[in-house]
Amino acid sequence: MLFTRDAAKDIDGLVMPFTCLGTVDYVKHEGAKPIAITWKLQREMPVSVFTSANAVAR
């Protein structure tokens, strides 16, 4: 199971909730500190999460 969130806290200092992306399959990993792990989602990512993740990946 993979859970994600954009940030630990919002602009008011409140803890942000996680979004469950469901079950995943391990693809590969690279590096050590930090480590980059590639997962394959078993279902589509919600559009709101995709939009945020796509902005970070560029």
pLDDT, tens digit (0-9, with 9 covering 90-100), for 14-51: 999 999 999 999 999 999 999 999 999 999 998 988 88
pLDDT at 6 (0 to 100): 87
Indicate whether 57 pLDDT > 80.
Answer: no
Q: Are 40 and 24 in contact (CB under 8 A)?
A: yes
Residue 56 neighbours by CB under 8 Å, 6+ apart: none
The rounded distance, in Å, linking the Cα atoms of 11 and 31 is 32
- 19-22 and 24-30 strand pairing: unpaired
